[in-house]
Amino acid sequence: MKVFVYKHQSQIMDYLYAPYILIEDYNQISLTSEEKEKAKDIFNDLKEVKKILHPFKKRIEKYYHNKNHKIYIINLYLNLLNEGKDPKTMEDLFEMVMELSNSILKEVFLYTVFDKKINIESSEDLIQMIEDEIEDEKEKWNIYWSYYHLPKVIEEILSLYQEILPKYIPYYKTYEREIDDMIDNLDIYELFKDSAFNINQFSNKHVRVFVLSSLNPRILASIKEDQTNPNIDLFLFSRAHLFMNRSLQDKEELLFMAMKALSDPIRYDVLKLMIQTNLKKKEIAEKLSITPANVSFHIQKLINTNLLSISVDEDFMKYQLNKLLLKNVIQKIQDEFEL
């Protein structure tokens, strides 16, 4: 495995994620009591950053397109890196993004909002795709408008960063030392050795690592694989080492969280249909007589308790069952009740 990690790339990636802090509900992250204590300072800072970002809320919602943790401007940055372009600063990145062709802007935009690579040949194709894939009526119109005004969207996104970053960077700097420490001492195999994730599956790959500040606790350790590119993108939370190798007590608490999540009969049925069928959220909602928003809520709960994870390949996004965790839950019940 060849590992590539650069401070400037990690810093740019962290800055690009900054507006997402306002969108994300960090209270929904499943942490043990010990982990919550370790992250106390982080959540205090996140409250402050959310307050700072709040005046930009409407603009972030309109222009900062994100879908299932995939973000338009970040996908544009990854696209540039894949093309061999490596901006060293945010200013360099802004210049390169402004120079991208409209066809690239559209291709990456569609991949972001629909979780797969598609071709749109007419406005009717786009309308049909939006109707099939998007639940929220306001979001439908925003996607349609944005697709035909992407240069304007880019202009507004860059303007947002120019206003937001001077307010965000002082918070980033409080975590800069731990980011530098992780970058300087990163040992991928050591980091993952006691985790449930099999890092050895990427032993023949190039791994491009982005170390993000502790203001991104949702990240922890997130992998993006694109089969059209030899790189594996690994996003690491700068305190990941404190959470990856959980103590026995922590693991027990996580098992109870998973059991609690599965105790909801509707959530259990959502999980079963997500894994055993190819039904879309709307179809699952109809089958279970609930709303698509309820389906999304239950899916997020399953992700938060690590029962589900998101896997992205070159064409689409899919959900994967954490079979090891589920087996551990079953084993615990069998052991405790001597079944």
Residue pLDDT, tens place only, 185-235: 998 888 887 665 667 777 788 889 999 999 987 766 677 766 556 678 889
CA atoms within 13 A on the CB side of 333: 11
What is the predicted pLDDT for the residue at 144?
Answer: 93
Residue pLDDT, tens place only, 144-161: 999 999 999 999 999 999
CB 253 within 8 A of CB 33: yes
R_g of the chain computed on alpha carbons: 20
Strand-pairing partners, residue 70, are 67
What is the predicted pLDDT for the residue at 55?
Answer: 96
Domains of the chain: 9-178 (no CATH), 247-336 (1.10.10.10)
What is the predicted pLDDT for the residue at 312?
Answer: 42
CB 307 within 8 A of CB 322: yes
Q: What is the DSSP letter of 239?
A: T
Helix 150-173 and helix 137-147: axis angle, to 10°? 110
CB 220 within 8 A of CB 268: no
Strand-pairing partners, residue 4, are 208
> Model's pTM, two decimal places?
0.75
CB 294 within 8 A of CB 273: no
Give pLDDT < 50 ranges for the chain: 247-248, 312-317
Cα(127)–Cα(125) distance, integer angstroms: 6
Side chain identity at residue 78, one-letter code:
L
Helix (H, G, I), strand (E, B) or coil at 231: strand
Nearest alpha-carbon partner for 277 in 311, 321, 314: 321
What is the predicted pLDDT for the residue at 292?
Answer: 86
